[in-house]
Amino acid sequence: MRAGSFAYPALVADIGGTNCRLSLVAAAGAKHEPLARIPTGNHPTPEAAFDSVLSTLTERPRSAVLAVAGPLDGRSAQLTNANWHFDGPRLAGALGFEQGLLVNDFEALAASLAVLEPKDLKTLVPGKPEVEGLKLVLGPGTGFGAAALATRAGRGVLIPTESGHIGVGPEDPTEEKIWPLLAAGQPRVTVETLLSGDGLVRLHRAIATGSGMLEPKVSAADVTTLALDGDPAALKAVISFWRLLARVAGDLALAFKATGGVYIAGGIVPRLLPLADHSAIHAVFAGKPPMEDLAGRFALHVITTHDATERGLAAIAAAPERFGLDDPARLWFG
């Protein structure tokens, strides 16, 4: 690695269980330029998917920083909700990268917290954030992810987690009524079971069934559209989704003592903002007896910009040491 940054141009990629977004960064500090969005299932391997795009470029990227929606093991990673496996040195050899780094997708989002601006956020709970307090980012998408950014004296450390697989149970009579329907066919009810695209569909199905309604076959996007149109079952599902999200966000804020703020990311939540009851969200998020004083300091925001992951990856490529990622055990070379 030269001059503290990756070799340019650098490929940055946001790789989820459903889609893979590729962008190119021309130089340190430059804005990322989108290249392509590829359905993950369209190619058998990430090498094949990347090459289908990179082979069309006049100048191929010299390095890569890739955000993968799944757990990492040094220089390798496996997508949680798709069959792609990543091996850094193998990618470098196949695609001609001089150097590279794999990060968890929520590590990249946590890095973005260092570069996002107020206009990129919608504040739900203002709290009393501390300048160098730990920041936590979490969110529902194809799955559910969370990571933290701890900063001291200008140097950060990214903390990836598998918080989506924490168990969760009912906390009020409404949830107790639908919980058996939510748990049906599941080995255990986790945060991801309820707070993901499938989770929103699962909540809608349980509410419709529990109310004696005939539930149509719908996607998460359909539930959102129906709720915005005033459909009773869909609206109840979204209200339950917001309540559960606020509860989990507040619980994880306590777990990490996130005095720098909690940030919700992902493609689902921005669309649900018109249906967000700020006072109800605040009450659930901060209602953590006997820790109300601490929980009352936590701020809660929604990341509304669509490219936070890419911006986090570009920040990592420009200065990996800023995030504690100048780690020989994780960096790979061609």
Residue-level pLDDT at 33: 96
> How far apart, in whole angstroms, are the C-alpha atoms of residue 113 and residue 127?
17
Instruction: Specify the pLDDT at position 3.
Output: 41
Positions in the chain whose pLDDT score sits under 70: 1-4, 214-215
For residue 295, the tally of other CB atoms under 10 A from its CB is 18
- For residue 38, what are the contacts with CB-CB under 8 A and spacing of at least 6? 19, 20, 21, 22, 49, 52, 53
Residues 6+ apart with CB under 8 A from 120: 303, 304, 305, 308
pLDDT, residue 141, reads: 86
Pairing mode of beta strands 19-25, 144-152: unpaired
Question: Which token pair is 181?
Answer: 């329907």
Per residue in 102-121, pLDDT tens?
999 999 999 999 999 999 99
Q: Left if phi > 0, otherwise alpha if psi is -120 to 50, otherwise beta: which for 185?
A: left
Beta bridge partners of 65: 12, 101
The number of residues in the chain equals 334
Q: Kindly report the CATH number that applies to the domain delimited by 10-110+307-333.
A: 3.30.420.40
In the chain, which segments carry CATH 3.30.420.40?
Answer: 10-110+307-333
Model confidence over 47-100: pLDDT tens digits? 999 999 999 999 999 999 999 988 899 999 999 878 899 999 999 999 999 999
CATH 3.40.367.20 applies to domain 117-304: yes
Q: pTM of the prediction?
A: 0.92
As annotated, the residues of the chain forming the CATH 3.40.367.20 domain(s) are: 117-304
Which residues, 6+ apart, have CB-to-CB distance to 285 below 8 Å?
124, 125, 246, 247, 249, 250, 253, 295, 298, 300
Amino acid occupying residue 259: T
Burial class (CB in 10 A: 0-12, 13-18, 19+), 290: exposed
Give the pLDDT score at 2.
43
* C-alpha to C-alpha distance for 260 and 165, rounded to whole angstroms: 24
Burial of 188 (0-12, 13-18, 19+ CB in 10 A): exposed
Residue 88, pLDDT score: 96
What pLDDT is stored for residue 319 in this prediction?
Answer: 93
Show the DSSP H helices in 77-141 as ranges.
88-95, 105-112
Helices marked H in 195-231 — which ranges? 197-210, 220-228
Locus of tokens 């990756």: 6
**Beta-ladder partners of 39:** 19
- DSSP, collapsed to helix, strand or coil, labels residue 64 as strand
